[in-house]
């Protein structure tokens, strides 16, 4: 399916938040997805992932997660200095500010004529996977996909300690989590903690493990694994389709 692409601006706490929006080209009404980047923001690899999902019939809205600390449109280079810069941006952003951004993105999707009523989900990568996990606490979110989410058990997300793992029972929709078994940032103990929390709270969930490293779906890095990425998408798309068809 062909798509259209645009950038819109939202004001959140008096800060301008750029949101990249990819929409199926055929006229119609589609589910909407709040789509979170990793710490490098909306560079080409993340945009390609957003476009890929949109091509399957989803309105994808990807906000710049560091709009309070970086200029509009800034893409952080995925190198050593970029990693330091991205992590510093994360540390300087309050948990409540991330949550406010999520609500603003949801509000935008709800107001879009191309987005089906009551069909909104979330997806994210790395820190964005954690943000997607928190988005699942919002009542509008019916389906969530977290790709190698970092810091969920420890609360490492932004300024302060995130209460994410303590709020698992607030999830009202379904959630899917994609992990790499060779990922140092999501070790086995963390993966088990997340799985146990979801099970104890009786949250409908699926967890998929791939023999891959962190950020294995990002196609510009040495950790990229095309086979694992293709396999992950083969689970993600049917998951979204099933939840939104119910």
> Tell me, what's the pLDDT at 227?
98
> Tell me, what's the pLDDT at 175?
98
Q: What is the pLDDT of residues 72-93, one digit of tens each?
A: 999 999 999 999 999 999 999 9
> Tell me, what's the pLDDT at 119?
98
Are the CB atoms for 181 and 210 separated by under 8 Å?
Answer: yes
- Domains of the chain plus CATH, in order, are 3-245 (3.40.50.1820)
pTM higher than 0.75 for the full model?
yes
Q: What is the pLDDT of residues 40-54, one digit of tens each?
A: 999 999 999 999 999
> Tell me, what's the pLDDT at 195?
98
> Tell me, what's the pLDDT at 246?
73
Tell me the average pLDDT across 216-231. Answer: 97
Angstrom CA distances, 167 to 2, 46, 134, 152, 197, stand at 38, 28, 9, 11, 9
Q: What is the pLDDT of residues 150-208, one digit of tens each?
A: 999 999 999 999 999 999 999 999 999 999 999 999 999 999 999 999 999 999 999 99
- Neighbour-count burial of 15, counting CB atoms closer than 10 A to its CB (0-12 exposed, 13-18 middle, 19+ buried): middle
The closest alpha carbon to 146, from 27, 69, 36, 9, belongs to: 36
Tell me the average pLDDT across 106-126. Answer: 97
Tell me the average pLDDT across 94-110. Answer: 98
């Amino acid at each position: 399916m062909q798509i259209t692409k645009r950038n819109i601006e939202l004001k959140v706490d008096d800060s301008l938040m750029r949101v990249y929006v990819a929409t199926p080209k055929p006229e119609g009404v589609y589910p909407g997805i709040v789509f979170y980047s990793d710490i490098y923001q909306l560079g080409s690899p993340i945009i390609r992932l957003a476009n890929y999902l949109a091509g399957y019939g989803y309105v994808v809205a990807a906000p710049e997660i560091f709009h309070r600390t970086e200029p509009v449109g800034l893409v952080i280079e995925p190198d050593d200095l970029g990693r330091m810069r991205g992590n510093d941006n994360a540390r300087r952003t309050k948990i409540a500010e991330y949550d406010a951004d999520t609500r603003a993105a949801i509000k935008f999707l709800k107001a879009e004529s191309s987005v089906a009523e009551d069909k909104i989900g979330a997806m994210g990568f790395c820190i964005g996977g954690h943000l997607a996990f928190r988005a699942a606490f919002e009542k509008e979110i019916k389906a969530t996909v977290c790709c190698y989410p970092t810091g969920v058990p420890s609360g490492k997300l932004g300024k302060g300690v995130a209460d994410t793992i303590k709020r698992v029972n607030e999830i009202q929709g379904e959630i899917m989590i994609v992990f790499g078994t060779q990922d140092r940032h999501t070790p086995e103990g963390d993966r088990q903690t997340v799985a146990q929390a979801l099970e104890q709270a009786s949250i409908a969930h699926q967890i998929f493990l791939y023999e891959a490293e962190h950020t294995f779906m990002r196609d510009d890095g040495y950790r990229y694994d095309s086979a694992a990425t293709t396999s992950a998408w083969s689970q993600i798309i049917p998951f979204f389709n099933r939840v939104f068809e119910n």
